[in-house]
Amino acid sequence: AVLAEGDAGTGSFSEGVDTPPVQPVLAVVGRPNVGKSTLVNRILGRREAVVQDVSGVTRDRVAYDALWNGKRFTLLDTGGWEPDAKGMQAAISAQAETAMATADVILLVVDGQVGATAVDQAVARTLRRSDRPVILAATKIDDSRGEGEIAALWRLGLGEPHPVSGLHGRGSGDLLDIVLDAMPDSPRDDVDLDAGPRRVALVGKPNVGKSSLLNQLTGETRSVVDAVAGTTTDPVDSLVEIDGETWKIVDTAGLRRKVGQASGTEYYASLRTKAAIEAAEVTVLLLDASEPISEQDLRVASQVAEAGRALVLAMNKWDLVDEDRRHAMTRELERALVRFPWVERVNISARTGRAVQKLAPAMRTALENWDRRVPTGQLNQWLSDVVAAKPPPVRGGKQPKILYATQAQNRPPTFVLFTSGFLEAGYRRFLERMLRETFPLTGTPVQINVRVRE
């Protein structure tokens, strides 16, 4: 069964139930020298060049992003392996098992000039057990003369053999059409292409300076355009210009009316905060820098992370911060940010207008990282380096193997690790740290899901 393991604690790892759809995976299987790499390069159009081996690491699986007829999929090249001590038979059945465990469609490649060997037959036998579609390709059929020979491949019991020349491309389009027909639909790309202003929530405890900041921003530009009107006098959202870019601040009606305080119910204010966070793409959480950081502030930061939105921490009232307070705050921040070491941070003063223009670059960075897509090739290059440097700890006498990774979604970046065993929470946090060291991901939560195949 394909399982996913949740994680108690960090909130970065989701439970299996609602893991987002992963783009479909095509695994390419076959003996060495039958022409797999050539075919893979043909399919990729060599856009993502074959990743060179990292010294000391045997690269036995490499995943790439592929695109055909507008459909995205992950191409898993099981190519570069070498038969180990147990021999080719064992190596290739392991390869087939991996493919069956993790792919949506399997492409078995045989050498059309050689025909089916005993090893090909053994793999075909294994693959016939698969509940995934298996497509048979006969490579090195560079012209029509070769085609007659491949009829014999029907006896592999995998249906029609499809002639193809990886070298010249002959038949590769037809082959891809067949492969894609067999695939489940890829998840919709959720990058909405409307170039409207990015949505910002301005949240924080009463009196931290939210309305002052809003006034500062709108006053500065003198060009508040009130967007979606709640009532004629009371706009729900406001468009403001910061640093040459227009942003939509959501729920400014709530800020202007000071709903939380007026109604006197904290519950209502927190609902409003939650709604604003969810309506926005990036949240600017305002803290009063002159006061100790509170639990309530951290709860809101958690809410943003859980909602999967980008986060900028703005330390307001910076004009009130003296030397002593600065030292105390550094220590408080260190402690507070253990859970959110990735936030974007700015020090501002809404009253004086100091550094308010720094908000825009911080929001931009956070959103850029929130939108980030790490190419599958780079992701797996990274994964193999990290795992080589520090393999997952043995659990229950077994060393879990991480087979490969893909990014299932962005906004926020969501990764899926395909593994042969459970990964300890500590190790997954280590992976997240390493991921953040390699790819620019400040200002955004990331999610790492683990799919275990036992």
> What residue type is 103 in one-letter code?
A
Query: What is the rounded distance in angstroms from the CA atom of residue 52 to the CA atom of residue 33?
Result: 18
- Selected binder of ligand GDP within 12, 19, 23, 38 (CB under 6 A): 38
Three-class DSSP category at 308: coil
DSSP for 29-82, written as a single string: E--TTSSHHHHHHHHHTTSSPPPPPPTT-----EEEEEEETTEEEEEEE-TT--
Residue 316 interacts with ligand GDP (CB under 6 A)? yes
Residue 376 interacts with ligand GDP (CB under 6 A)? no
Min. distance of Cβ 351 from ligand GDP in angstroms? 3
Residue 210 interacts with ligand GDP (CB under 6 A)? yes
Residue 136 interacts with ligand GDP (CB under 6 A)? no
Q: How far is CA 242 from the centre of its chain?
A: 29
Q: State how far the alpha carbon of 166 is from the alpha carbons of 32, 171, 179, 207, 352, in Å.
A: 15, 9, 15, 67, 66
Min. distance of Cβ 192 from ligand GDP in angstroms? 31
Residue 392 interacts with ligand GDP (CB under 6 A)? no
Min. distance of Cβ 319 from ligand GDP in angstroms? 5
436 and 430 Cβ atoms separated by less than 8 Å: no
Closer residue to ligand GDP in complex, CB, 168/436:
168
DSSP H helices, 144-294, are 172-181, 210-221, 252-257, 259-263, 266-279
- Selected binder of ligand GDP within 161, 166, 400, 413 (CB under 6 A): 166
Min. distance of Cβ 142 from ligand GDP in angstroms? 5
Nearest Cα residue to 430 out of 380, 392, 398, 394: 392
Does 421 appear as a known binding residue? no
Query: What is the rounded distance in angstroms from the CA atom of residue 127 to the CA atom of residue 249?
Result: 55
The token duo for 269 is: 């204010």
Residue 162 interacts with ligand GDP (CB under 6 A)? no
User: Given 3-state DSSP classes, what are the helix, strand and coil percentages for the chain, each rounded to the nearest 5?
Assistant: 35, 20, 40
Residue 165 interacts with ligand GDP (CB under 6 A)? yes
Min. distance of Cβ 145 from ligand GDP in angstroms? 12
Per rule CB under 6 A, count of chain residues that contact ligand GDP: 31
Residue 228 interacts with ligand GDP (CB under 6 A)? no
Min. distance of Cβ 198 from ligand GDP in angstroms? 22
Residue 238 interacts with ligand GDP (CB under 6 A)? no
Residue 251 interacts with ligand GDP (CB under 6 A)? no
Residue 431's φ and ψ, nearest 5 degrees, are -60, -40
- Selected binder of ligand GDP within 2, 54, 57, 320 (CB under 6 A): 320
Counting beta carbons within 10 angstroms of the beta carbon of residue 203, is it exposed (0 to 12), middle (13 to 18) or buried (19 or more)?
A: buried
Does 410 appear as a known binding residue? no
Nearest Cα residue to 379 out of 410, 411, 407: 407
Closer residue to ligand GDP in complex, CB, 140/364:
140
Does 358 appear as a known binding residue? no
Min. distance of Cβ 25 from ligand GDP in angstroms? 18
- Selected binder of ligand GDP within 29, 76, 79, 412 (CB under 6 A): 79
Nearest Cα residue to 210 out of 296, 298, 273: 273
Does 78 appear as a known binding residue? yes
The contact set with ligand GDP (CB under 6 A) reads 30, 32-38, 79, 139-140, 142, 165-167, 204, 206-212, 258, 316-317, 319-320, 349-351
Question: From the annotation, which residues make up the binding site for GTP?
Answer: 30-37, 77-81, 204-211, 251-255, 316-319
